A and B are shown apart, each in its own frame.
Chain A
Amino acid sequence: MNRPALVRLRRVPALSGATAVLGLLTVAWPLAWAPAWTYPVAGLGALAALAGLRWRRGPALAVAAAVVCCAFSVAGAFVLAAEGLFILAYLVAADAPAGLGRPGPWLRRQAPLLVAGLIAGGAVLAMEAVHLAASAWITLAGLAAAVAAYLIALPISRRPGQ
């Protein structure tokens, strides 16, 4: 089946506004701790966040800009943990389907994702608190988690009869 180019992320206006605000917050949050040269990057990220209301690649670009700003900032662990949650909430909200009559039930169905993100962020924050920050094991664990996430996201093979 051809992937139609007509798939657009259309949301109800209330949720669209909240999504845009979350996107701008995600991009602007690390700026207080970031060097001045990252401001143009953040500006591009903000544009991508606004364009994300109609452009499906906008959210990913906004998040990329936010990650760049964070990478070169002097933000602390709590700031980065909050940024991670903002990113998760923004990406979930940006994926809301078209034609949602009432966003309430849909938002409730997304709660498990946010809870899982909160737990994961809290776990890593706890590891930070026990002074394992200098260890390469955390990085290794993150890489392993990334590999696991990609394995989960890979297309599921289907056997005949399934």
Chain B
Amino acid sequence: MTRWHPSPRARNLATAALLALIAAIVTGHAAMVLLAAPALGALAVMPRRRPPDPAVTVTLSATRCFEGEEVTVSATVGVPGGRPPDEITAELVPAPRVALVSGTAGQTYGPAVLRQGHATATWVVRPDRWGRYPPGAVLVTARAGLGGVQALIRAEAGPLEIFPRPARMRPRLVPAELLRRIGEHAGRAAGAGVEFAGLRPYQPGDQLRDVNRAVSIRRGQLYVNQRAAARAADLVIMIDAFGPGEGPVGGPVGGRVADRTLDLAVHGAATLAAAYLRVSDRAGIVVLGGALRWLGPAHGDRQFYQIAGLLLQARYDSWVPPDLDRIPRTALPPGTLVVAFSPLLDPRGHAALTDLRRRGFPLIVVDTLRDEPPAGPRPAGAGLALRLWRVDRAATRSALHALGVPVLRWADDAELDSVLAPLRRPPPGTRRPAVPS
């Protein structure tokens, strides 16, 4: 039920009249009533009848979008039959990290529009932060009785799913053993791909276009080019969502740092998933932290949106340690390349990574921590604690290195493609990237 109450205009007029009358009594200056008279006259002509309550409906042009995409918010104010309000003002209050692209924040409609039974205000907004939240609230102010009474109605649209925008990258990092499925990566076996794999003497049945003329002339017999088979790969992205807010670092800084590391991890996961799914590979995801959630490897655009939907749930907190035994074999097939985004702060996340490596999965860890605690002004004597913390992190990295897990640091302003670049250099004598198998 809408509550109508005196508007600021009525209150201001009444206050002015009262002040003038008090001044008349206090000073004995009867002519001061002349100050109050116009305000009182205006108050007297304001009608007391309350108009019918307006109904507000807020709709969005889309229920899901990517970061930086524009969404139209429409607020329809329905005015039931009878005398409509004098005017209705609809104001959009955007949520944090949502920018108003077009449309004035406050839009006012007079009786000429309201007599049609409804008025619609539209705004175009651009959410810049992934998550599932309403892009803003619409605040409708209805005024009636010559502006003497007003009603405030707050309405919100349903939540908008804003997916992290994946950056562009090429899926050049593949496990040593590829699937027996046609894809776009050059496999070890010879096949019908396009990448040169070697030479062998001509055999009956070979196609003439495969004959390597230069080698055949030099050796005096026919040689044909061999090509590597084009295979698909499986990739499982793992996100360590145990933030420093929950872990050993703690404190008020923890939440902000956790938010940043999770933000980086989610964007990295979206980038990897989009890159691999684009080339007919299969991608899956496991989210550590909170309730353990996973999605088995699959391919196609639908899988990308399912991964993105799962990423939106990565912000729930929990004290439950992750148990990788709960993940079914289909969600984490043996030999799958696992890329884990982790700030390497929480022992539960670290234990899960170690467990994964010991099970024989080729694993890459991308360190998403860019801050050093405490981020604020440091108390005296904190230098020693900071050095100890650095030593502890170095020990964590060394332990992972000892297990054969490369740990890559995601520095500021670096693209994920360049972060993973060191692993793409094939070691001497091999054609395969240096991902441990």
Contacts and interface: CB of A to CB of B under 8 A. Distances in A.
Interface of A: 1-4, 6-7, 9-10, 56, 59-60, 63-64, 67-68, 70-72, 75-77, 80-81, 83-85, 87-88, 91-92, 94-95, 97-101, 105-106, 109-110, 112-114, 116-121, 123-125, 128, 133-135, 138-139, 141-143, 145-146, 148-150, 152-156, 158
A70 B42 contact: no
B19 A113 contact: no
B44 A88 contact: no
Given A91-B13, A142-B36, A113 B91 contact: no
Interface of B: 1, 3-21, 23-27, 29-46, 48, 50, 86-87, 89, 91, 93, 104-108, 110-112, 139, 141, 143, 146-149, 152-154
Given A59-B12, A121-B34, A138-B30, A113 B44 contact: no
B137 to A, nearest CB: 8
3 pairs of A and B residues whose beta carbons are closest in the complex? A120-B41, A98-B106, A117-B38
A114 B8 CA distance: 17
Nearest to A94: B12
A33 to B, nearest CB: 12
A113 B146 contact: yes
A138 B12 contact: no
A70 B110 contact: no
A63 B89 contact: no
A116 B106 contact: no
Contacts of B7: 95
Contact of A152 (B37, B148, B154): B148
Given A63-B12, A77-B34, A87-B38, A4 B152 contact: yes
Contacts of B42: 88, 92, 113-114, 116-117, 120
A71 B28 CA distance: 9
Given A116-B38, A120-B41, A149-B43, 4 more contacts: A1-B154, A77-B34, A97-B108, A146-B21
